[in-house]
Structure 1
Amino acid sequence: MSKQLLKSGIIVSLMTLLSRILGLVRDIVMTYVLGADWATDVFLVAQKIPNFLRRLFAEGAFSQAFVPVLSEYQTNKTLFEVRRLIAETSGTLGLILLLIAILGVIGSPVLVSIFGPGFVGKDREFELASLLLKITFPYILFISLTAFCGSVLNSIGRFGVPAFTPVLLNLSIISAAIFVSPALPDQTAMALAWGVFVAGIAQLMLQLPFLWKEGLLVKPTWGWHSQGVQKILTLMGPALFGVSIGQINLLLDTILASFLESGSITWLYVSDRMLEFPLGMFAIAISTVILPALSRQHASANVVEFNQTLNWGLRLVFLIGVPAAVGLFMMAEPIILTVFQNGKFTLNDAHLASLSLKAYIIGLLGFMLIKVLATGFFSRQDTKTPVKIGIAAMVTNMVFNLILFFPFAHVGLAAATAISAIVNALLLFYKLTQQKIFIADSRWRSWFAKLVTANIILAVAIYSYIPSTEDWQNWGNIQRATQMGQMVVGCIAVYAISLWIMRVKMSDLRQSDAV
């Protein structure tokens, strides 16, 4: 089983890598044409509101509630009943989302007042944000239906297409920046907003042929009172706060940052984008492939395989997450300089963004572990435990926001989010072990010791060979990219050799000892 999971995880990671690379290109182009000024902040808020709802509703609450129920139907019921569940869920979801999209477009000024209160009283920023949100808000309809289709494909082991889909968003925004914005020199943000709108439609259309090929493209029907839909809705309520707490915390950062100097939202956004690279490429990929497996194992009461799958997922997170945190923290400013410092994005912008990136990185492993640990609950159709823990983490974030916001500005907001992620992960882990849902297998002690040693070697290597920040600032784009490429390849080589010396084998990731 874990061999197949590893194969699926690699597929999702590769597709996500492609998406993240194009996402970086998108952000480079965006910061090049807009810089880090008020218009960029406004666009990011207009984009973040529907994107936040997408992560909270579609990828967060809905997928974590829908996939376990769908897997239960696939394990214990007929194909007719599975198709009926898909039809009733898509019809109910589609109508609800349509109403939400209409209300969002109509009420865009209210939403801007809520999610960007710092723009209130600033007529230029507020009016543009309200207008852009009218364009971007329907994205929640299209992308949530896209996430629904992707969840169906994931449940039958088809991970490639859903993982590739975000590429279309990046291509659409890049195209809008390059080809549309020159025709609208004073409305570049408007061009990018239309890029978001078009991307939503394109991503949904991509899924449909593959659902049809699998015989699962069915006519949507209203099914509010059906047993399956009611079960999904019951699970969704608590799940709204469960796995999506990190996104709520990041949104709170944006709200508070709207009161800071111009550029603060952009600095946090740039930092978050770099954080999303390992988070999306690895943690989300791992949780995506293990959720259907865990759900099936729970439905068939296979306790041993369930625990083995959780052990496998957590071990993989540590294997990748720890060196990612070490590398990103130690090379934060060189990375921001290499990727973003160009055009209107200045050296000072890069420095300030690197500070918030370092603060976020403190919680990177926590962010990654949450994705896998919460899946252990959601696969068992337990959404109440993660929500209780999530609320505690959110309160932690709010408290530390108040403590750190005034003395450290945007860096304090990032640090508060990181601390809450660590608290969230620790509490999830405690509950899993307390309820004996997760039992660490016999490999963990030696595995962890080897992992720590390999990462100490990695940190020493980076410290010894990384050029000074002044050198990175003085170099041109090509020299920065060349040096960064060499550093990345060198870090991977050092880490791989260190693991080999520590006798950490790939076979350790293909099988797991029963406890």
Structure 2
Amino acid sequence: MNDAPETGANTPAARPGLLRSSALVGSMTMLSRVLGLVRDIVIAATVGANALADAFFVAFKIPNFLRRLFAEGAFAQAFVPVLADYREQGSHAAVQALINRVAGVLGGSLLLVTGLAMLGAPLVAALFAPGFLDDPRKFDAVSHMVRITFPYLLLISMTGFCGGILNSYGRFAVPALTPVFLNLSLIGAALVAAPWFAEPVYALAWGVALAGVIQLLFQLPSLYRLDLVPRPVWDTRHEGVRRIVKLMVPALFGVSVSQINLLLDTVLASFLPTGSVSWLYYSDRLTELPLGVFGVAIATVILPSLSSHRAAARGEDFTLTLDWAVRMILLVAVPAAVALMVLAEPILVTLFQYGELGSRDVSMASYSLQAYSLGLIAFMLIKVLAPGFYARQDTTTPVRIGIIAMLANMIFNVIFVLPLLFWYNLGHVGLALATSVAAWLNAGLLWHRLRKDGVFRFQPGWGRFVLRLLVATALMAAVAWWLVPAVSELAAMGALRRALSIALVCGGGGAAYLLCQVALGARLNQLRTPRSGA
């Protein structure tokens, strides 16, 4: 990571290749996700999947969902292209003025939202978990924890804003490393603070709030070295702020549709048997591992590049970058989705079946994990297809597509969850399945429109690429299926033996996948970012 100060906002940053940047972000994110798994193992052992655990996961998911809209979703997709324009055309002073005013408007708006949510916590709880209204203990717990966790929205959204600036200047490591502190804070809360609370889940809620403070402070030294520390100014008339708001408002539905669908799952799960919210949480967390490590990493590094190509009218480089991103996603998403399908219950037993989380909870979570795995490829494709619109400052198209996908998700929820006609009630598994189907619809429509606009075009070599991918994935699945012990055998093992057994299975399957790719002609230089005229 280069910490030398920028000489000017309009000076192009010397960027490493997208593969190298993706690897950097991916490695930092991998560290965070590994700690996230440790966090979830500790939480599962501490609170399990009972009524108060359901309440905590709802209270945590509400600000976390809004954070993804404001920080990682709509805001980032609107802010980065506008910042790229200011860097390309303006002075350092102009960039600083934009940052100051965006910080003021974003921070002020979120401060208002946070304050209102804390004052009206019971209304927030009723809105996002209406099924808990019949259980006073659950409902009161959600209301109380919303007041504790909701400031995380303000803190982490401002953290995401700072991270967007750093990413635009090629400083990917610090924003990618920042989520580590959420995991460390929650692990510390569960292991150190929880014994001091009558109900351990409240310690976790305070751990969330503390993490937001730490994550924001962690960004500031890097911004100081760029001489771009935000100095908030409320100015809604600033041209850049107006452009960002214009792009952001419709984008709230665009790139974040999958998150809206997951939140709808939580709302509906509140009406299902106790434990449903927790089962969905644990299965979603495993799906988030490849999505966060690879999908978000590649999406993070291509958005500034795509925005730069658009600002400089490098249309062919824009197309090549998008094609490269889709290939990189498929290289990881396809084997990851198949592996989670094959190894769903063994992985969950290895990670979570300790303490308060029992075998039935693991079995139920494995069903929803398999359902989410069906949509993993689509979830990851959305991450790299949506920037193809936002880098061109087109938010209208993803909004239309997002609304279609969200409505489809609602329809499939009714079909899969409610016992209508001859359909069997799939419960929480139906919620996960509906989300996956809607994600495929979303990704398919995004891809179709990019193709229609001439922005995405298949480059030479796709036939060989797909053949290698399918054969290698099939071999990986066969090896994993052959190596994995029976679930009952895994459950009887100690924690270390379980971990070693699953590591052997995953290592063997991964080695088979890589060796097969190489044997069929894949080479490392094929992963480099292509350039027009190269």
Alignment TM class, shorter chain as reference = over 0.9
Matched, 1:421 2:413: no
Whole-angstrom distance in 2 between the partners of 1:425 and 1:284: 15
Which among 327, 351, 358 is matched to residue 339 of structure 2?
327
Matched, 1:498 2:516: yes
Query: Structure 2 unaligned runs (5+)?
Result: 1-13, 419-424
- TM-score of the superposition, structure 1-length normalised? 0.98
* Aligned partner letter, 1:242: G
Matched residue of 2:155: which SS?
helix
Structure 2 match to 1:382 = 394
* Aligned partner letter, 1:512: P
Deviations 1:292-346 (A, max 9, x none): 0000000011011101110110010011111111111100000000001100100
* Aligned partner letter, 1:38: A
Matched, 1:298 2:310: yes
Matched, 1:154 2:167: yes
Whole-angstrom distance in 1 between the partners of 2:34 and 2:258: 22
Whole-angstrom distance in 1 between the partners of 2:493 and 2:109: 52
Deviation at 1:491, TM superposition (A): 1.5
- TM-score of the superposition, structure 2-length normalised? 0.95
* Aligned partner letter, 1:116: A
Any conservation in 1 of the 2:148–2:205 contact (CA below 8 Å)? Answer: yes
Which among 470, 474, 477 is matched to residue 452 of structure 1?
470
Deviation at 1:514, TM superposition (A): 4.9
Whole-angstrom distance in 1 between the partners of 2:50 and 2:196: 21
Which among 227, 240, 260 is matched to residue 248 of structure 1?
260
Aligned counterparts, 1:3-22, within 5 A:
4-22=17-35
Q: Structure 1 residues 380-389 or 484-493, which shifts more?
A: 484-493
Any conservation in 2 of the 1:400–1:416 contact (CA below 8 Å)? Answer: yes
Aligned counterparts, 1:86-485, within 5 A:
86-184=99-197, 186-406=198-418, 407-485=425-503
Deviation at 1:218, TM superposition (A): 3.7
Matched residue of 2:426: which SS?
helix
Deviations 1:182-240 (A, max 9, x none): 111x2211111100011001100000111001111142211200100000000001110
Deviation at 1:470, TM superposition (A): 2.4
Deviations 1:162-196 (A, max 9, x none): 01001101111111111111111x22111111000
Structure 2 match to 1:80 = 93
Structure 1 match to 2:49 = 36
Whole-angstrom distance in 1 between the partners of 2:451 and 2:477: 31
Any conservation in 2 of the 1:246–1:421 contact (CA below 8 Å)? Answer: yes
* Aligned partner letter, 1:442: P
Deviations 1:88-134 (A, max 9, x none): 11111111111111001001100100100011131111111101100
Any conservation in 2 of the 1:442–1:513 contact (CA below 8 Å)? Answer: no
* Aligned partner letter, 1:370: I
Whole-angstrom distance in 2 between the partners of 1:513 and 1:498: 28
Moved over 4 A (4+): none
* Aligned partner letter, 1:79: H
Matched, 1:512 2:524: no
Any conservation in 2 of the 1:71–1:155 contact (CA below 8 Å)? Answer: yes
Structure 1 match to 2:7 = none
Q: Percent identity?
A: 48
Deviation at 1:458, TM superposition (A): 1.2
Any conservation in 1 of the 2:18–2:529 contact (CA below 8 Å)? Answer: no
Q: Structure 1 residues 406-415 or 363-372, which shifts more?
A: 406-415
Deviation at 1:3, TM superposition (A): 6.3
Whole-angstrom distance in 2 between the partners of 1:218 and 1:57: 17
* Aligned partner letter, 1:105: M
* Aligned partner letter, 2:94: E
Deviation at 1:446, TM superposition (A): 1.4
Structure 1 match to 2:10 = none
Deviations 1:437-493 (A, max 9, x none): 111111212111111111111122222222222222322222211101111111121
Deviation at 1:2, TM superposition (A): 9.7
